[in-house]
């Protein structure tokens, strides 16, 4: 509701800071009145109306207000802001949120600012919550948000859904921000709530843009990754996909993710997020690592690589190749991108596992050790240490 | 309508990737002249210019006795503004479109800065609240 209200007021007044202040005031009034008088029939409408009155009062009082007031006509795109229908909550508000998403994820803002604005203005997190998610102090985050909002206003970053020609690129930037929020929550258990925030944001984006299959693809991708998380750690230790207890996977999330992927396939407008979701869907449909449809996964990675020719995609494809054609073929695929990913711990860990399957224990050990030196999290380092330990036991006389 | 400064910079008295042969120079001028014509047609062009090198710069500072002049630019920096356009644009997206065209025509990176105010301060004061 916070995001809805800010989005509407930002459109009308053309100033995010003014919109936020007014909405916060309205919530303060609500916290006083609602317990006494009861919750109004249309709480979002009540907040927006109250915030609007506050904003107008604020404008009348301040000098900067008169200047803004004169600009109102232009900001409101010609519509008259006193029009009652202008304040309707149902139709226009969702459009307002959509505009605001594209403003928050504008490519002229640095990515940390895009992420912070999106969580604050659309995710409805408090400044303190956003700050804790990014391991900075509340005052640092507050300054970051002020700077970002200053640029939006000073440089006139528009509140507008981009024109068709720019939409695919700008939408990619929005989806990347949401996926980055998810991944930030993935890598650090202390920031796990960011995963829920990202999924919630993706759900509202699907409602706002039902005709963009990549939006649905991103939602499905996150749902399917999320479904397997309950089996990913056991007693604080990382468990590989091949060793996971698949009965722990969240079947409800898998069903939802599969339904979204099927709907994407019917539309036949594939994109990077939809293809990544389809790959996850194949994993989630398999009862075991051996029962996985690896040839299908290779086909999907081929499509993905055609759209997104990155070394990380090639690395993931190599894992599927090793499952179908054996570790030798997998290693040969990795060799083509090993130099590009020399600083990426998962590349060395993947190579190590393949070398181990080929019985090349010394080379496997060296690769695991290199991976452990590059790994960023404690859980990863412990996992790699266990692999090295297991290698030693492989070679022990029986 | 807002105004934006589109600027490019030199690095130690050379513009990176500047045209070096007469043919390259001619092609460069052709692209820039065509772009400026496009700016004129759409009412975008306000002013533009190329600057002499920073060796030609002087700084005048206020002091107690008299103003003091010194040789050189403001800042000891490797990068200095080499040339600029001032354009009219509705918002940052429109300014970015023009900056993209300038970058393509000149093959230089272009910085976009919004103006806080333009014109004579006297005109601004009249429009200020409370004036």
Q: Per residue in A297-351, pLDDT tens?
A: 999 999 999 999 999 999 999 999 999 999 999 999 999 999 999 999 999 999 9
Please give the Cα distance from B17 to B34 (Å, whole number). Answer: 20
What are A56's two structure tokens? Answer: 């107008």
**Percentage of chain A modeled with pLDDT above 70:** 91
Claim to verify: residue A367 and residue A315 sit in the same structural domain: no
Asked if the model's pLDDT at residue A294 lies above 60, the reply is yes
Q: What 8-state DSSP symbol labels residue B129?
A: T
Decide: A46 and A194 in contact? Cβ < 8 Å. Answer: no
- What is the average per-residue pLDDT within A59-68? 68
Q: Which of A89, A117, A145 is the last residue of a domain?
A: A89
Claim to verify: residue A16 and residue A75 sit in the same structural domain: yes
Q: Which of A51, A68, A89 is the last residue of a domain?
A: A89
Examine residue A251 and state whether it is found in any structural domain, yes or no: no
Please give the Cα distance from A120 to A132 (Å, whole number). Answer: 12
DSSP sequence for B10-35: EETTB-TT---SHHHHHHHHHHHHHH
pLDDT of B55: 85
pLDDT of A68: 62
Examine residue A161 and state whether it is found in any structural domain, yes or no: no
pLDDT of A64: 62
- What is the average per-residue pLDDT within A65-81? 51
Claim to verify: residue A327 and residue A358 sit in the same structural domain: no
A74/B contact by beta carbon, under 8 A: no
Claim to verify: residue A334 and residue A349 sit in the same structural domain: no
Domain range for A79 = 1-89
Residues of B with CB under 8 A from a CB of A: 2, 90-93, 95-96, 112, 114, 116, 129-130
Asked if the model's pLDDT at residue A76 lies above 80, the reply is no
CA distance, residue B39 to nearest chain A CA (Å) = 20
Chain A residues close to B87, C-beta within 8 Å? none
- Cβ-nearest to A158 among B93, B116, B130: B93
Decide: A153 and A15 in contact? Cβ < 8 Å. Answer: yes
Residue of B nearest to A107 (CA): B93
- Domains, in order of start, for chain B: 2-127 (3.30.70.1060)
Examine residue A4 and state whether it is found in any structural domain, yes or no: yes
- Cβ-nearest to A108 among B2, B96, B130: B96
Q: Which of A44, A63, A89 is the last residue of a domain?
A: A89
Asked if A108 lies within 8 A of B2 by C-beta distance, the reply is: no
Asked if the model's pLDDT at residue B121 lies above 90, the reply is no
pLDDT of A81: 40
pLDDT of B129: 58
pLDDT of B14: 67
Examine residue A14 and state whether it is found in any structural domain, yes or no: yes
Q: Which of A156, A162, A169 to mutate to test the interface with B (most CBs of B within 10 A)?
A: A156
Claim to verify: residue A325 and residue A363 sit in the same structural domain: no
Please give the Cα distance from A33 to A31 (Å, whole number). Answer: 6
Examine residue A69 and state whether it is found in any structural domain, yes or no: yes
Residue of B nearest to A161 (CA): B93
Asked if A158 lies within 8 A of B112 by C-beta distance, the reply is: no
ipTM score of complex: 0.84
pLDDT of A65: 60
B-contacting residues in A 123-152 (Cβ below 8 Å): none
Decide: B79 and B13 in contact? Cβ < 8 Å. Answer: no
CA distance, residue A153 to nearest chain B CA (Å) = 10
Chain A residues close to B130, C-beta within 8 Å? 63
A158/B contact by beta carbon, under 8 A: yes
Burial of A352 (0-12, 13-18, 19+ CB in 10 A): buried
CA distance, residue A212 to nearest chain B CA (Å) = 22
- What is the average per-residue pLDDT within B65-78? 85
Asked if the model's pLDDT at residue A384 lies above 90, the reply is yes
Choose among B119, B98, B107, B112: nearest CA to B35.
B98
Asked if the model's pLDDT at residue A77 lies above 50, the reply is no
Q: How many domains does chain A have?
A: 3
Query: Three-state SS for A236?
Result: coil
- What is the average per-residue pLDDT within A151-158? 93
CA distance, residue B61 to nearest chain A CA (Å) = 29
Please give the Cα distance from A22 to A12 (Å, whole number). Answer: 12
Choose among A311, A317, A297: nearest CA to A341.
A311
Claim to verify: residue A296 and residue A364 sit in the same structural domain: no
Examine residue A114 and state whether it is found in any structural domain, yes or no: no
**A-B Cβ pairs (cutoff 8 Å, strict):** 30
Claim to verify: residue A74 and residue A2 sit in the same structural domain: yes
pLDDT digits (tens, 9 = 90+) for B22-57: 999 999 999 999 999 999 999 999 999 999 988 889
Asked if the model's pLDDT at residue B77 lies above 90, the reply is no
- What is the average per-residue pLDDT within A229-234? 91
pLDDT of A67: 63
pLDDT of A66: 60
């Amino acid at each position: 509701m916070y995001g809805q209200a800010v989005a509407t007021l930002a459109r009308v007044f053309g100033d995010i800071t003014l919109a936020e202040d007014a909405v916060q005031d309205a919530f303060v009034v609500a916290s006083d009145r609602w317990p006494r008088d009861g919750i109004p029939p249309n709480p979002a409408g009540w907040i927006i109306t109250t915030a609007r009155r506050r904003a107008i009062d604020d404008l009348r009082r301040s000098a900067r207000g008169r200047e803004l007031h004169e600009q109102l006509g232009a900001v409101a795109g010609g519509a008259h802001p006193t029009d009652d229908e202008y304040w309707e909550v149902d139709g226009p508000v969702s459009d307002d949120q959509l505009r605001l998403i594209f403003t928050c994820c504008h490519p002229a803002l640095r990515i940390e600012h895009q992420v912070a604005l999106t969580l604050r203005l659309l995710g409805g997190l408090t400044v303190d919550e956003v700050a804790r998610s990014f391991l900075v102090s509340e005052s640092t985050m507050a300054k970051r948000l002020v700077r970002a909002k200053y640029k939006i206003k000073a440089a006139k970053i528009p509140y507008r859904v981009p024109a068709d020609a720019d939409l695919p690129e700008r939408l990619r930037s929005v989806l990347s921000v949401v996926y980055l929020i998810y991944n930030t929550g993935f890598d650090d258990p202390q920031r796990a709530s960011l995963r829920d925030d990202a999924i919630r944001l993706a759900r509202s984006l699907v409602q706002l843009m039902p005709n963009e299959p990549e939006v649905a693809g991103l939602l499905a991708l996150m749902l399917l990754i999320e479904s397997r998380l309950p089996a990913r750690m056991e007693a604080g230790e990382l468990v590989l996909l091949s060793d996971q207890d698949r009965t722990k996977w969240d079947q409800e999330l898998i069903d939802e993710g599969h339904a979204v992927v099927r709907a994407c396939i019917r539309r036949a407008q594939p994109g990077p997020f939809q293809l990544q979701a389809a790959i996850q869907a194949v994993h989630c449909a398999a009862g075991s690592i051996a029962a996985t449809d690896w040839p299908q996964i290779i086909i999907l990675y081929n499509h993905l690589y055609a759209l997104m020719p990155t070394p990380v995609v090639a690395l993931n494809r190599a894992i599927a190749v090793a499952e179908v054609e054996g570790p030798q073929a997998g290693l040969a695929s990795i060799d083509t991108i090993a130099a590009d990913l020399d600083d990426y711990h998962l590349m060395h860990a993947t190579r190590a596992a393949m070398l181990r399957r080929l019985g090349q224990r010394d080379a496997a050990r060296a690769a695991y050790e290199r991976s452990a030196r590059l790994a960023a999290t404690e859980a990863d380092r412990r996992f790699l240490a266990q692999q090295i330990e297991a290698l030693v036991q492989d070679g022990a006389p029986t | 309508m807002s105004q934006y400064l589109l600027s490019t910079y030199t690095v130690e008295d050379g513009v990176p990737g500047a045209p070096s042969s007469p043919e390259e120079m001619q092609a460069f001028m052709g692209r820039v002249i065509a772009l400026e014509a496009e700016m004129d047609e759409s009412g975008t062009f306000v002013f533009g210019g190329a600057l002499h090198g920073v060796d030609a710069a002087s700084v005048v500072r206020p002091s107690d006795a008299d103003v003091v002049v010194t040789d050189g630019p403001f800042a000891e920096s490797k990068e200095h503004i080499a040339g600029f356009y001032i354009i009219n644009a509705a918002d940052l997206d429109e300014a970015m479109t023009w900056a993209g065209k300038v970058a393509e025509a000149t093959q230089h990176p272009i910085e976009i800065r919004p103006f806080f105010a333009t014109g004579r301060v006297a005109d601004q004061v009249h429009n200020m609240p409370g004036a």
